């Protein structure tokens, strides 16, 4: 009985330990990523926080940041849905993170569609946000979304196919990861077209460049804005995702990461827009298969955490 109580106490301690994202151990650069406010990672379309407990959307990235002193939280929203709905879901989770950590705000980092979600949060609940960082996010639309939108008609065959594919994939991922969020692939697509993002930018302009390929405001209402992205496509011969991104890249006129072009990714302070990374390399996928001739994505994240720390965030 006593043993069971001890085991229970140990499990509880470990749970809190894990939830707080504390360092397991550290030999050097132990506080390099130790930001003042927690880091919150917000996934993109068809994202998942954890699949089978093995494959993380942010592959190896939370661990890398925690090993260097950061407090890291990974959020989950509808895999396919509008930016506004996903943003509202995100706000609920950030309120919990703020309550749990006792820190008044967080550093938001979003990949792909997640980069738009975090902008929505910063606009609606600026009190919760210290900084916004987007990675490979289509702030001025994704050409593939426009092509899909132009080639499907509402309720038509194409639309039904896209919706079925999107909703079924989203539902499967939601089921596997233990969440059940409303799915709406068409709403997601609409959020990522040039027209959809233009409407979103008109309502939530903070950090968006005024010119077609410039930088945006580095700070708006006390919130810092950053972005980075890649223009690599076939970066690792072993990665089964690379040929697919090579095909989707054909929809784009400008240098792109397979789904988002270089200029569309710009938000606030553009750290870099031409890493030799494709859209999934940016989150260290598939399974860490990235270019060995480029900075490792985990290093890029760790350096960014250090940038936030040095900015007092």
257 annotated active-site? yes
CB of 8 to Ca ion, least distance (A): 42
CB of 289 to Ca ion, least distance (A): 5
Kindly report whether the peptide bond that precedes residue 130 is cis, defined as omega within 30 degrees of 0: no
**Nearer CB in complex with Ca ion: 71/229:** 229
- CA 228/CA 208 separation, integer angstroms: 13
- Which residue's structure tokens are 């065959």? 157
Choice among 143, 239, 242, 257 that is catalytic: 257
Enter the tokens of residue 161: 């196919």
**Nearer CB in complex with Ca ion: 39/289:** 289
CB of 294 to Ca ion, least distance (A): 11
DSSP, collapsed to helix, strand or coil, labels residue 207 as coil
Positions 185 through 244 that interact with Ca ion (CB under 5 A): 239
Q: Using the rule CB under 5 A, is 281 a contact of Ca ion?
A: yes
DSSP, collapsed to helix, strand or coil, labels residue 223 as strand
Q: Using the rule CB under 5 A, is 257 a contact of Ca ion?
A: no
Size, binding site for Ca ion by CB under 5 A? 4
Residue 137 Ramachandran class (φ > 0 left, ψ -120 to 50 alpha, else beta) = beta
Stretch that binds Ca ion, among 40-48, 105-113, 280-288, 295-303 (CB under 5 A): 280-288
Residue 182 Ramachandran class (φ > 0 left, ψ -120 to 50 alpha, else beta) = beta
**Nearer CB in complex with Ca ion: 213/234:** 234
Stretch that binds Ca ion, among 89-97, 101-109, 112-120, 282-290 (CB under 5 A): 282-290
Stretch that binds Ca ion, among 91-99, 180-188, 261-269, 273-281 (CB under 5 A): 273-281
Choice among 279, 281, 285, 304 that is catalytic: 279
DSSP, collapsed to helix, strand or coil, labels residue 110 as strand
Residue 78 Ramachandran class (φ > 0 left, ψ -120 to 50 alpha, else beta) = beta
Site string for Ca ion, 51-80 (x = CB under 5 A): ------------------------------
| CB contact at 8 A, 197 and 191 | yes
β partners of residue 209: none
CB of 152 to Ca ion, least distance (A): 29
| CB contact at 8 A, 232 and 277 | yes
**Nearer CB in complex with Ca ion: 239/269:** 239
**Nearer CB in complex with Ca ion: 21/136:** 136
Name the residue among 106, 136, 138 with its Cα closest to residue 121.
Answer: 106
CB of 291 to Ca ion, least distance (A): 8
279 annotated active-site? yes
DSSP, collapsed to helix, strand or coil, labels residue 51 as strand
Q: How many CB atoms lie within 10 A of CB 33?
A: 26
Q: Using the rule CB under 5 A, is 289 a contact of Ca ion?
A: yes
Choice among 82, 112, 137, 249 that is catalytic: 112
CA distances 159 to 156, 162, 163, 164, Å, are 5, 5, 6, 8
295 annotated active-site? no
Residue sitting closest to Ca ion (CB): 239
**Nearer CB in complex with Ca ion: 61/289:** 289
CB of 274 to Ca ion, least distance (A): 16
Catalytic residues: 112, 257, 279
Binding-site ranges for Ca ion (CB under 5 A): 239, 281, 289-290
């Amino acid at each position: 009985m006593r043993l069971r109580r001890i085991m229970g106490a140990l499990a509880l301690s470990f749970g809190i330990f894990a939830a707080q994202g504390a360092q397991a151990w550290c030999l050097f650069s132990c506080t390099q990523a130790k930001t003042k406010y927690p880091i919150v990672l917000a996934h993109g379309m068809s994202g998942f926080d954890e699949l089978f407990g093995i494959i993380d959307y942010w592959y190896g990235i939370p661990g890398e940041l925690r090993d260097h002193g950061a407090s890291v939280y990974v959020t989950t929203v509808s895999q396919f849905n509008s930016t506004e709905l996903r943003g509202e879901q995100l706000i609920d989770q950030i309120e919990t993170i703020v309550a749990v950590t006792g820190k008044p705000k967080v550093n938001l980092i979003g990949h792909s569609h997640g980069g738009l979600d975090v902008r929505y949060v910063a606009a609606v609940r600026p009190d919760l946000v210290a900084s916004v960082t987007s990675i490979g996010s289509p702030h001025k639309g994704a050409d593939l979304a426009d092509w899909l939108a132009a080639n499907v008609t509402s309720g038509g065959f194409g639309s039904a196919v896209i919706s079925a594919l999107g909703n079924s994939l989203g539902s499967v991922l939601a089921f596997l990861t233990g969440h059940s969020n409303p799915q709406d692939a068409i709403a997601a697509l609409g959020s990522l077209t040039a027209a959809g993002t233009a409407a979103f930018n008109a309502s939530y302009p903070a950090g968006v460049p005024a010119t077609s390929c410039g930088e945006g405001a580095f700070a708006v209402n006390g919130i810092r804005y950053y972005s980075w992205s890649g223009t690599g496509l076939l970066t690792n011969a072993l990665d089964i995702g690379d040929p697919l991104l090579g095909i989707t890249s054909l929809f784009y006129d400008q240098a792109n990461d397979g789904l988002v072009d270089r200029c569309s990714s710009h938000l606030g302070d553009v750290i870099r827009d031409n890493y030799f990374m494709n859209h999934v390399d940016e989150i260290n996928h598939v399974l860490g298969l990235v270019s060995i001739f480029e900075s490792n994505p985990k290093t890029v994240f760790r350096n960014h955490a250090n940038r936030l720390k040095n900015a007092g965030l």
